[in-house]
Structure 1
């Protein structure tokens, strides 16, 4: 592996390019016409336009991206997160063209991408799953019968879903018809797939994910866990690692379960096993993300590992370290989102001991309206949670982004909430916080 095409944009493309540079690998950036002056384009060794601003015609255009890789002599493709990162057809095309896909095999992506099929595979491997429908369905009547069997409330989900698309909590049989139609319509628009499945809705759990990475030699390393419970509209906003609520016995159970899950599908590359945590010893498999996660930096800080470098090394056939990294300290990540597009007229990012910012922003950059709203990640590291939270509050308070509207003020409010400071959170925390603020 000598030249990597980065099939993404924004901060993750910058992150991958930097990791490649450290490993002596040449890079190719792809860009849409809206991203001609983007930072990842300027940092890569070569860059090529793959289409107009519309992501369907550029960053999701498999034919154009594969052709670009071949035209510029790339021998590997890193998909980042989002866009085509969990698209089995894209991974398959790369494999067919002898391009090293920096991620798991297309077959594995397909298995885990079908959420209903993933549940079946994990159940067969002995991984605890939330009670739910035994298979996917497309008919409303079939879903209603399954919901009655599982018992209300239920969580209806898109089988091909992710990012909260096609997801609804249904509390009574009377709601099922209306919510099913809305969720299935959203799923069809987002994923071109109307298959649904459902699970028993567990009230007020935590969202805990375990970071794993597997190599081509059959080894799976666990790189600790992250608490991703602070979410709004099923989108994570603040993540931390490790989770202070887990007891050691449950943590070790989660780790071993994650290794079992990864080995059951012969997993190669970085991925996360996502769990709902309902108390000591009570955790349930939700899904597996077969890519690098937005929040991977906090794991890097508590393990002293470079996850993107490990992805590249594993893809090149190298073996992982034999020893599981020691977890040390506490790390937080805040996602800064743009709530309006526009030109960055002023920019001051925080710095200092234990502070890292991953972003593709620069003064004068125009944030386009065509892509995901996340424009930066502020990451902090300290010896313990209380110190890390204090450091993050200072870092967010120092951050200035002018010319556009952002969620910086909201993040500051969350970080000052007494319940957050006391670590009394769950996946409904932000919704309840917003409701309380509006009274």
Structure 2
């Protein structure tokens, strides 16, 4: 019975991303990264000084401009030197990560507690909280007060006897006409104001109706997102339950998935990223793994960066060819041991009895132009032979020889195992 796994599953991808975050956090503690950050800060500081010096030169007199030009030039040189130092810090970190491919994995326990992958549903925050707030009520125009008619007092005494009643009647008539004019103006103002307020009310109602409709839609989408989230969590946990049960029953597919999770935890440097293909044979209790390493042309060959004042360029010096070949071969050998160690250490139940491993490179055959895969290491070992090796104290290439592995005589030249003399 054999099951083949080539792509990371859902749980493996979660673990891979989690370990990526952990690795980035750990890298921040390293001296090389601290030096890199310092170099960045220095470059930024020098750039600011250069900018200030250039601005001062534009405002200064001839003598002052000359001095400012010199200051700007010095600031530019310092900025470029800081840029070169930044590149060197990044390069040192990359080389260090590759040199420590094997020791990096010895510092961690590669066993994966599958129960720790169990998820719990969380409350998803409502993403449109502004819709919960009602639209502000409109500020209505003040309704004008209705005018009040105040009758004139009738004449009394001698004034009434001498014709005052006629004058009073004329005054009352004039007052009534004036009141009726005011009343008509008030009615027009009232109608206008009520019309404006009705428009404000209608606009508010329309806005509030739109808000409530949008709120209902947002709530519906939120409820659907919660339902989807809970369903995904339930499916993930159900899948986890099946995986745990499958491991207990020694199912090949479950073992393959667990190995995928373990290998997804193994984060390699950006300059030397690998991928895996693996299958577990339950009958022989043997795990077959192919580790796909980066090709030689992707391997870092820079030795250092240096700023050249004469041409204002940052130049790169390269490692000697022999050194590059040695480092690449060492990285390939360490990858073989690292992968074997991680799988055996993670398999606490000792389901896997032996590992058949190849470290290979996908490339283009220079003779035919066809895509081809070249094995650079083949290792077959069982738990009893591998575990006694103290990996913290070994030379990887010597350990492979001790384990009777087949190793390319020139991995950097992509010399195949079966025909060492084809390529040099």
User: Do Structure 1 and Structure 2 share a fold, with TM-score over 0.5?
Assistant: no
Higher relative contact order (CA 8 A, sep 6+): 2
Give the TM-score taking structure 2 as reference length. 0.20
Greater strand percent: which structure?
1
Structure with bigger helix share is: 2
Greater CA radius of gyration, 1 or 2? 2
